[in-house]
Amino acid sequence: MSTTFQLDTSTSRANPTPAPMKRLTVPAIRQRKQDGATAEPIVMLTAYTARQAQLLDPHCDILLVGDSLGQVIYGLPSSVPVTLDLMAAHGAAVVRGSYHAVVVVDMPFGAYEASPEQAFASAARLLKETGCAAVKLEGGAAMAETVAFLTRRGIPVMGHVGLTPQAVNVLGGYNARGRSEAEAAKIVSDAVALAEAGAFAIVVEGVVEPIAIAVTEAAACPVIGIGGSARCDGQVLVTEDMLGLFERVPRFVKRYAALSEVISGAAADYAAEVRARIFPGREQTYQPK
C-alpha cells in the first residue's frame, strides 16, 4: 500500500500511515465524462489545512487548494495578493491530510500569465513541494497555449472560465457573467479552447445557467460548476461558505451547516466558565497520586 500523512487527532501530529485505498488519478477524473456525458457527477470542495482535508477527503473526488484562501484564511480583500509561497505551504498540508481525492492547487495571480515558461516553473514548483496531482489556472483562449505547454510536459491542468476572481480588477466585481450574447459566446469558446489544449477539467464560475449548460455540452472534458448549473459534470464550493462560517452567503451557495453559531457559542461557554473559575475542573487537571 502507498503511504500518506494522516493527522493523529490525539496528538495533532501528522504521521506516515498506510493509505486505506489508492488515490484517484487525473485520468480517472477525465474519464468520468464519456461521449459528452458524466454518469457520476464529480464532487469537489476547497481545502486549506491538513485537518480540513482529512475530514473532507472521504467524500470528495477532488480537493482544491484554492487561492480563495487569501480571503478565507488571511482576510485579504481578494485573491490577487496571494503568493506562490502560500499556495505551496497550504497545498502540502492538504496532500498530507488526504489519501483519496485528487489534490489540485491554484496557481496564484502573477505566477503564470507572463509566458508558458513562467507557468511551467511555477507549476513544477507546486508539484514538487506539495505532491499535488495538478494545478489550476484562470483564463480562456488566451491561456490555451500555456495549458498545452504544461500538459505536454507532464503537468495536468484544470481550467477556469466565466467569473475569474483573479481578474476582479478588470471585471469590476464579482457579478454573474454571460448576460450578453457576446460574452456568453466567448465563455463557451474559451472553455472549448482549454479542453482542446488538454485541460483535464474546467471550472465554470458565476455564469447564467444556460451558459453553464452550454459550456458543459461543448467541452469534451468534465465541467465543474460553481454558480453554474446542476447539469454540469460536477460541483465545487468554498468549504467555509458551505459550512456557514461567514455571515454573507453568495447566491450560489447552499449552507449545509451553521458552524459560525456553533463556534461562537462554544467560545462564549468557554469564556463564561473561565471567568466563573469553573474551567478547568478536576477532569482537566493533574492531581497528585
Instruction: Supply the CATH number for residue 210's domain.
Output: 3.20.20.60
Any domain includes 289: no
What is the per-residue pLDDT for 37? 95
Residue-averaged pLDDT of the chain: 92
Consult the annotation and say whether 68 binds a ligand: yes
Any domain includes 258: yes
Cα–Cα distance for residue pair 97/25, rounded to 1 Å: 17
- Sign of the CA dihedral 143, 145, 146, 148? positive
What is the per-residue pLDDT for 22? 83
In tens, the pLDDT along 4-45 reads 555 666 666 666 555 566 899 999 999 999 999 999 999 999
* Number of compact structural domains in the chain: 1
Consult the annotation and say whether 2 binds a ligand: no
Q: Which of 205, 209, 247, 283 is catalytic?
A: 205
Consult the annotation and say whether 8 binds a ligand: no
Is 205 among the residues known to form the active site? yes
Domain span at residue 165 reads 3-284
Question: CB neighbours (10 Å) of residue 2?
Answer: 9
> Distances in Å between the alpha carbon of 174 and those of 16, 52, 68, 170, 199?
41, 26, 13, 11, 24
Q: Which triple of cell numbers denotes residue 75?
A: 482576510
Any domain includes 48: yes
pLDDT band at 172 (very low <50, low <70, confident <90, very high): low
Any domain includes 268: yes
Any domain includes 49: yes
